[in-house]
Amino acid sequence: MTLVYVAIVLFSVLVGLRARLAWRRRQLQRQWRTAPLGVVEQDHCFGYINMVNLVKHTAAGTYYENSQRIVDANPQLKTSSMYVAGQPVIVTLDPENIKAMLATQFTSFHLGKRHSIFYPLLGNGVFTLDGEGWKHSRQILRPQFHRDQIVDVSMFESHAHHLIQEIKNSKPGAVVDLQPLFFSLTMDVATEFLFGESVNSLGQKQLPFSESFTKAQEKLTFRFVLQDMYFLGDGPQFRKHCRTVHELADHYVERALAQSDTKTEGKYTFLNELVKQTRDPKVLRDQALNILLAGRDTTASTLSFLWYELGRNPEIYTKLKDEVDQRFAEADSVTFESLKRAPYLQQVLKEVLRMYPIVAENVRFAAEDTTLPRGGGSDGSQPIFVAKGTNITYSPWCMHRDRDVYGDDANVFRPERWVDLKNPGWAYLPFNGGPRVCLGQQFALTELALVTVRMVQAFPQGLPFSGDSTYPPLKHVSLTISLKQGCPVKVT
């Protein structure tokens, strides 16, 4: 009886606290002259059933399909609230709210615990910092992604050639998983750009640096899910992987500092240029690793999803090949400018970034009591109150499938939609937006375009997809998304 009594008391306390919070929220809504939010996935167990469902769908590879199911079941709610593990969460797909968070009300929102969560691996970098620290990071990094640094495609060419040779090492008819090859490719490109020297992971067994970077990143994902309890995602193995990554990065930082003393000029290297902005070795290491995190996984996953779709859609592949044959017949015809001028290639890239935004869900936290412009009232058109500390989640995955913007076939991979599609503005966020828009956007697009062109030229018959027929594909969720079952294709 004692345990039953204790359970009843605890339950009553929780119900009372929730009722008081609801009363306080209504008071603040009146004070700020805002309207209440709609609620989806009502969970009378304080959001713990929602949490179990999220974990279940993440493990199954259907996390984003579950999110889309909720959106489809509540089409009138572009912004809503729900409880997850006892915490209130605002979920918004409204471009006006996202514009407010990322741009017009930028200072009213921050990254929450991201700095503490990511610090053991990434330190004080452009992706972990807020406020003045972030501004300084952005200021010293922006010149490194000037157009002059990415118009030379020769670095991409050498690694694309190596990738193609790796695929061709398999006999015709053999099945090859492209996804790990793409991850090796982008690691090699990123390390050459950052350090002036590639780790040459293509064609080798897992290198200690690459393996440790992957393992440490997986732990960062776990820490991010834990949020306030992130310290539970620590331990000697995690710290060991971080040290392995730091040791290699420190080696290249020391070399860049030494080379700056000799004033020798060579090819462009990110670290050598960054040394002109700061000589602090920890700043150099932290910023380089922040860029590496963005430069490897995002592009590798995008290439994987792209070749997954090309392998499933031979008619799209044929149309793309026709354009490649026409525009890039000469060996030296692939340039930064010519890639930009290939219309169907650009439509294909826009479509894969729409269907599979690699950062498929993102989050901000209110830095102060504030409002968002839409989501309140019966039609969702009135402002809403956002209390300090509130988690606001936005989902490019679901936004990019909005039928009001992309048409009734928004769940279909169809590059041709971009011929007549008006600029979707804040409804299209493959590279985020506002002051924190991706610095490496043009670098990534150039790498994606060049690798795609060279692979189409190398495999004129295509690389038919040879994996599970489940569609949409199951996805592995970490800081980015990837194909849970890889991208197996048949070599032709």
Binding residues: 438
**Beta carbons within 8 Å of 146's beta carbon, 6+ residues apart:** none
Q: Spell out the residues 6+ positions from residue 373 whose beta carbon is closer than 8 angstroms to its own.
A: 96, 97, 100, 383
Dihedral sign for Cα atoms in the order 288, 289, 294, 300? positive
**Residue 138, SS3 per DSSP:** helix
144 alpha-carbon distance from chain centroid: 21
Q: Quote the tokens at residue 423.
A: 């600029």
Q: Which of 103, 101, 190 is nearest to 145 (CA)?
A: 190
DSSP string, 234-258: --HHHHHHHHHHHHHHHHHHHHHHH
| Complete DSSP assignment for 269-325 | -HHHHHTTT---HHHHHHHHHHHHHHHHHHHHHHHHHHHHHHHH-HHHHHHHHHHHH
CB-facing half-sphere around the CA of 404: CA atoms within 13 A: 11
Identify the bridge partners of residue 392 per DSSP, sorted by sequence position. 90, 364
For the chain, the distance separating the N- and C-terminal CA atoms, rounded to the nearest angstrom, is 71
Taking Cα atoms as reference points, which of 448, 468, 440, 459 lies closest to residue 165? 459
Which residues define the annotated binding site for heme?
438
CA distance 105 to 97: 9
Helix, strand, or coil (residue 432): strand
CA–CA separation, 390 vs 112, rounded Å?
10
- Report the DSSP beta bridge partners of residue 489: 176, 465
Q: Which residue has the tokens 């769908």?
A: 57
Indicate the burial class of 319 (C-beta count within 10 angstroms; 0-12, 13-18, 19 or more). Answer: middle
